[in-house]
Amino acid sequence: MSRSEFSQAQRVVVKIGSSLLTDGGRGLNKQAIADWVAQMAALKRQGVDVVLVSSGSVAEGMSRLKLKTRPKTLHELQAAASVGQMGLVRRFEDEFQLHDVLAAQVLLTHDDLSDRQRYLNARSTLLTLLDFGVVPVINENDAVATEEIRFGDNDTLGALVANLVEADLLIILTDQTGLFDANPSLNPNARLISEISVNESLLDEVAGGSISGLGRGGMYTKVRAARLAARSGAATVIVSGKIDNVIPAVFDGNDLGTYLIPNIAPLAARKQWLAGQLQLKGGVVLDDGAVKILKDAGKSLLAVGVKAVQGSFKRGDLVSCLDLQGNEIARGLINYGSEDAGKIAGKPSSEFEALLGYADEDELIHRDNLVLV
């Protein structure tokens, strides 16, 4: 897809980061929010579905609670987020109302999307809201999200939402002009990358973390988000939210920010959901033959190709498939718990019964439950 095709998008996800929303930590930037809402309302008037993923609850909570630095303890963070989320949605609702657009608050945790049934429920809710012409305003449910169940950064959440609603375009608004070939906050000679494939390995070298103390992910999570979004065919643009009329300008195909081209084969819906799973419970180390079969033939993983089992996991958990050098090549939902997987590693399925006293599936990970990374 070229930038000129963005204007054919039916559905757009806009993600706004903390650093931008809060004007460097000085409370919500009301004028900027008014401008972005006006831009999103303009897209809606053109018949485009708009979903907003907005950060800023912690930063706004810090400002309301007069905290100078980001809280360190989980409970303080959760409390700040609860206070701040009120201000955030109130501001968005008021602004959207000025344009006769209804907004809806949707707060998600990682758990909501890791369970397939809840994932499908979240999807139905979002699609129904869009049918009603409403703009969902989404954030992580920070008040209850503990370390184990959190996305942690809203770039990832934005990408998973783009997968959920099958958006054509994900616009990530941030405090930088786009993605640079080095972190511009640290290197004044860094140059903006205008377009790059999500496949490009250079991305792994240039995308650094956040140093603002407000945002969480930096460019690293934005690149990962673009890759996730690409799995459902969505194009991603990382761009400065400070540019005048930026959302329609990107939509119209102007050369702004960094366009991460989604030139990978889109995955089937179930595999998109799998690819979005973040909480790995362990891993299996494969021999070279198994690696080749997974990569080239798209077959299921058999225990006979497994050299070692890492971590402690249960049947049905998500595990990584690693090559002998430790590189992750795939991940999937495993049919045997770690203890049993250890016993049948390297063995053909005909021996499972004797080794375990029972035999479930012949495959350690069925190909329908496996996704290459």
Ligand X SMILES: Nc1ncnc2c1ncn2[C@@H]1O[C@H](COP(=O)(O)OP(=O)(O)O)[C@@H](O)[C@H]1O
Residues that bind ligand VHF (CB under 6 A): 17-18, 55-59, 81, 139-140, 142, 153-155, 215-217
Query: Could you tell me which of 121, 62, 50, 57 has the C-alpha nearest to residue 90?
Result: 57
Please pick, from the candidates 217, 233, 257, 276, the single residue that binds ligand X as defined by CB under 6 A.
217
Residue 222 C-beta: closest distance to ligand VHF, Å: 9
User: Which region, judged by CB under 6 A, interacts with ligand X, from 37-45, 144-152, 202-210, 334-342?
Assistant: 202-210
Q: How far apart are CA 308 and CA 322, in angstroms?
A: 10
206 binds, among ligand VHF, ligand X, none (CB under 5 to 8 A by kind): ligand X
Residues in the chain: 373
Q: Which residue's CB atom is positioned nearest to ligand X?
A: 17
Please pick, from the candidates 208, 248, 253, 346, the single residue that binds ligand X as defined by CB under 6 A.
208
57 binds, among ligand X, ligand VHF, none (CB under 5 to 8 A by kind): ligand VHF
- The 3-state DSSP class for residue 245 equals coil
Is the distance from CB of 52 to CB of 136 less than 8 angstroms?
yes
User: Which residues contribute to the annotated binding site for substrate?
Assistant: 55, 142, 154
184 binds, among ligand VHF, ligand X, none (CB under 5 to 8 A by kind): ligand X
Q: Residue 16 belongs to what H/E stretch?
A: strand 11-16
Q: What share of the chain is helix, strand, coil (3-state, %, to 5)?
A: 40, 20, 40
142 binds, among ligand X, ligand VHF, none (CB under 5 to 8 A by kind): ligand VHF
Query: Residue ranges of the alpha helices (H) in the chain?
Result: 18-21, 30-45, 57-64, 74-98, 110-114, 116-131, 154-165, 202-206, 218-230, 246-251, 269-275, 288-292, 338-344, 352-356
Residue 56 C-beta: closest distance to ligand VHF, Å: 5
Residue 173 C-beta: closest distance to ligand X, Å: 7
Does 56 bind ligand X (CB under 6 A)? Our answer is no
Nearer to ligand X, 50 or 206 (CB): 206
Is the distance from CB of 238 to CB of 172 less than 8 angstroms?
yes
Dihedral angle computed from the Cα positions of residues 362, 271, 292 and 264, in that order, rounded to the nearest 10 degrees: 170
User: Which region, judged by CB under 6 A, interacts with ligand X, from 23-31, 183-191, 244-252, 266-274?
Assistant: 183-191
User: Which region, judged by CB under 6 A, interacts with ligand X, from 41-49, 135-143, 176-184, 260-268?
Assistant: 176-184
Q: How far apart are CA 133 and CA 127, in angstroms?
A: 10
Q: How far apart are CA 28 and CA 78, in angstroms?
A: 18
Does 264 bind ligand X (CB under 6 A)? Our answer is no
Nearer to ligand X, 84 or 218 (CB): 218
Please pick, from the candidates 33, 107, 179, 291, the single residue that binds ligand X as defined by CB under 6 A.
179
Is the distance from CB of 44 to CB of 101 less than 8 angstroms?
yes
Q: How many CA atoms lie within 13 A of 180 on its CB side?
A: 18
Does 61 bind ligand X (CB under 6 A)? Our answer is no
Residues that bind ligand X (CB under 6 A): 17-20, 55, 174-176, 179-180, 182-185, 206-208, 210-212, 215-219
